[in-house]
């Protein structure tokens, strides 16, 4: 048995008016296959290029170990020179990933290689982020704290993207006071005996290749699995729906601070309680 996923619609190119009408207003994902062919990055960006211009930079690395109460928010699990990391990606599968790496801060010259596309949304120009991963590495199923509209541009190789909207929360084993589902769920091959509610979730899937762009609407859950080594860049625009904007403000200023406080007070017991509640809350809907 497989997850109930439909293929994300694909277009070669799209006008601003059609994007707004058919995808943004309806809050539906889409893959735009030829969105960035006029960018220098389209022909330049690959792992060797990144190694050449950023090889001496020490980068933060993350793997798929379970959350520990002692871990700070987005605290790295390891560090490595970018040149060594690229060599590792090419040599063998690794769980180490880079995420939320601000290229304006780390490699300003990369900004010359891309443009901010005009899809009718005001993109945040201070927050272009890079994400890297090796063969079979993956992110936890999660959604972004600010429930932003996200344009995800992929470079080199191929990655699988599985998406769910916020209406599916009750079936996903969402961790309370968090932005992730249970970390021990393999969304690329889920165990439905262990996680029966997933049978009721309805989502989207696509495989992204070099130069393709995925639009993820506000607050969409996303799970990314690297089929081959590669990297992506995300540009974002703030949530426009009032409900999502209110939720983003709550996440940033209340939920995150409350969760950090409870970690300090209760330690690992808080993490264990949240993991158990994810199961009991979800199973209550089936």
What values do phi and psi take at 263, rounded to 5?
-65, -40
pLDDT of residue 191: 97
Say how far apart CA 284 and CA 286 lie, in whole Å: 6
Say how far apart CA 98 and CA 47 lie, in whole Å: 13
pLDDT of residue 136: 95
Which residues, in sequence order, are CB contacts of 155 under 8 Å at separation 6+? 41, 45, 46, 210, 211, 230, 231, 232, 233
pLDDT of residue 71: 67
* In contact, 32 and 11? CB cutoff 8 Å: yes
Expressed as residue numbers, the domain containing 77 is 4-283
Q: Which residue has the tokens 């890079």?
A: 130
pLDDT of residue 286: 76
**Which tens digit of pLDDT belongs to each residue from 33-91?**
999 999 999 999 999 999 999 999 999 999 888 777 676 556 788 999 999 999 999 99
pLDDT of residue 175: 97
Radius of gyration of the chain (CA): 19
Q: CATH code at 38?
A: 2.60.120.650
Kindly give the parts of the chain with pLDDT less than 50.
none
**Which tens digit of pLDDT belongs to each residue from 38-47?**
999 999 999 9
First to last CA, the chain: 18
pLDDT of residue 166: 97
* In contact, 84 and 285? CB cutoff 8 Å: no
* In contact, 196 and 286? CB cutoff 8 Å: yes
Number of domains in the chain: 1
What values do phi and psi take at 32, rounded to 5?
-105, 115
Helix (H, G, I), strand (E, B) or coil at 259: helix
Nearest Cα to 280, choosing from 186, 170, 190? 170
Give the global pTM. Answer: 0.95
Burial class of 74 by CB neighbour count within 10 A (0 to 12, 13 to 18, 19+):
exposed
């Amino acid at each position: 048995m497989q997850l109930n996923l439909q293929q994300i619609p694909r277009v070669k190119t799209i006008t601003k008016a059609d994007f707004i009408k058919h995808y943004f207003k309806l809050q539906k994902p889409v893959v735009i296959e030829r969105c960035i062919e006029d960018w220098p990055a389209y022909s330049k960006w690959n792992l060797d290029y990144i190694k050449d211009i950023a090889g001496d930079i020490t980068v933060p690395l993350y793997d798929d170990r379970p959350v520990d109460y002692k871990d700070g928010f987005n605290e790295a699990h390891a560090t490595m020179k970018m040149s060594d990391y690229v060599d590792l990606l090419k040599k063998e599968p690794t769980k180490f990933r880079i995420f939320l790496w601000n290229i304006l801060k780390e490699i300003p010259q990369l900004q010359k290689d891309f443009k901010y596309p005009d899809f009718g949304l005001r993109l945040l120009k201070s927050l272009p982020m890079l994400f890297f991963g090796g063969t079979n590495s993956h992110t936890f199923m999660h959604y972004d704290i600010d429930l932003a509209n996200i344009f995800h541009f992929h470079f080199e190789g191929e990655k699988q993207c599985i998406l769910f909207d916020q209406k599916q929360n009750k079936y996903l084993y969402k961790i309370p006071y968090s932005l992730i589902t249970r970390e021990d769920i393999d969304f690329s091959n889920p165990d439905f005996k262990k996680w029966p509610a997933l049978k009721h979730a309805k989502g989207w899937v696509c495989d992204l290749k070099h130069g393709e762009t995925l639009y993820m609407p506000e607050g969409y859950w996303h799970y990314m699995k690297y089929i081959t080594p590669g990297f992506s860049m995300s540009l974002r625009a703030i949530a426009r729906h009032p409900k999502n904007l209110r939720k983003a403000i709550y996440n940033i200023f209340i939920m995150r601070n409350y969760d950090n406080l409870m970690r300090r007070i209760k330690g690992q017991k808080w993490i264990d309680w949240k993991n158990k509640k994810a199961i009991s809350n979800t199973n209550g809907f089936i």
